[in-house]
Amino acid sequence: MAKQTSTDTARRLIALLGHFQNEAQIPLATLAEKVGVSPAQLADDLATLSVCGVAPYFPDMMVDVFVEDGIVEVTSPLPAIKGAVRLSSAEAEALSAALAAAGFSADDPLTSKLLAASSAGFDAEGLAHTLRTETAAHDSGVFETIAGAIAASEAVAITYQRDGATAPSTRIIEPHRLIAERGAWYVTAYCRSVGENRTFRVDRIRSAEATGEHFEAASPEAPAAAFTGEGLPLARLRFAAGEAFIEREWSGGRVLESAEDGSTLAEVPFGGTGWIARAVTARLGAVEVLEPSEVREAVRALVRAFGRGF
C-alpha cells in the first residue's frame, strides 16, 4: 500500500464525518472497510479525530468519538458538521466513471440522483467528453435487478438471447456473481433450466425480474470468473502462418508448438461448441479445428447456416 499522508488521513476522516452527526454505535470494522484501511489504522485516526473540535475547545465542542470493544461510539452530535460532506470533483469523477463502467450513463436516473445529492454541480456529461469507461451497453435496470437478487439470494427470471440465437429463451437463474471482463459484464449463476452453473452476458439479457423466491447461498462450485477453462474439454487448433495466437481472444488457451512453416498449434478450452465454432469461422480459414470432431461439425453447420443467408 502507498504511504499514507496527512491529506489521506484527513480526507478519510472527512468522508466519515457524516456518520458521526448523531449518537451512534458503529462497528469499527464496518467503517474501516468503507475507507479501505485496517481497523487498527482507523482506530488511530479516530483517536486523532477525538482531539479535534472548535474554539474554545471545551469538552462539548470536541468531536465526541471513541472506540471500545471494536465499536465506534459517538455520544453527542458532532460540532459544526451538518451532514455528509459532498464529493470533491475527483471523487465525483471517480463515481461517475465507476457508474459508467457498470452501465449507468451520465443521464441515467441513478447517476443523476447520486450526483445531485452528493456533489456540488459536477458535470457528468462534460466528463463523458473526456473520459469514457463504458463497457458493452446493457440495460442498467437489468444490472440493478441482478445485483439486488445477488444481495437477497433471490432467483431471477430472465429472457436471454444467447450468441447465435434468433430468439430469446426464458430461464430461472440463481445469480452468484457479477463480473466485468473483456469489455462486458457477465453474471455467473446456477441455471435451473439446465441444472448447471452457467455464465450469462448481461447485455444479452433482454429482461430480468426477481421472482421473490430465495435460494441457499452459492455452492462452493459456483464459478468465480466469467471465463474459466477448468475441467472443460480442449480443442486443438492450427493457426496458419500470419495468424497470431492471441491469448485474450482464446481465453485459457495455450500454444503447443510452432512449426517451421510459420503455423502454430494451440489448444483452447471450450464450454459449448457455439462460441469456438464462431471464433474459428470468423478467421475465414486462417484457423482450422483439428479435433474434436464435434467442433469441426459445429463449424460446418455454422458455414451452412451462412450459406442459407446468401
Q: Least distance (Å) from other proteins to the CB of residue 111?
A: 10
Kindly identify the residues of this chain, within the stretch 191-250, that bind other proteins according to CB under 8 A.
203-204, 206, 218, 224-225, 248
Kindly identify the residues of this chain, within the stretch 269-298, that bind other proteins according to CB under 8 A.
278-285, 288-289, 296
Q: Least distance (Å) from other proteins to the CB of residue 193?
A: 21
Q: Least distance (Å) from other proteins to the CB of residue 270?
A: 15
| H-run or E-run covering 143 | helix 140-152
Contact 99, 108 (CB under 8 A): yes
Q: Least distance (Å) from other proteins to the CB of residue 190?
A: 13
Distance from C-alpha of 248 to C-alpha of 263, rounded to nearest angstrom: 19
Binding string to other proteins for residues 112 to 151, with x set by CB under 8 A, is what? -xx--xx-xx------xxxxxxxxxxx-x--xxx-xx-xx
Question: Chain centroid to CA 104: how far?
Answer: 13
Q: Least distance (Å) from other proteins to the CB of residue 196?
A: 18
Site membership for other proteins, residue 83 (CB under 8 A): yes
DSSP, collapsed to helix, strand or coil, labels residue 240 as coil
Tell me the window of 65-73, 173-181, 253-261, 265-273 that interacts with other proteins (CB under 8 A). 173-181
Kindly identify the residues of this chain, within the stretch 33-62, that bind other proteins according to CB under 8 A.
34-36, 45, 48-49, 51-55, 57
Pairing verdict, β 287-291 and 234-239? antiparallel
Number of residues that bind other proteins (CB under 8 A): 117
Rank residues 113 and 254 by Cβ distance to other proteins and give the closer one. 113
Instruction: Count Cβ atoms within 10 A of the Cβ of residue 104 and give its class: 0-12 exposed, 13-18 middle, 19 or more buried.
Output: buried
* Residues written for the chain: 310
Distance from C-alpha of 4 to C-alpha of 161, rounded to nearest angstrom: 48
Instruction: Count Cβ atoms within 10 A of the Cβ of residue 228 and give its class: 0-12 exposed, 13-18 middle, 19 or more buried.
Output: middle
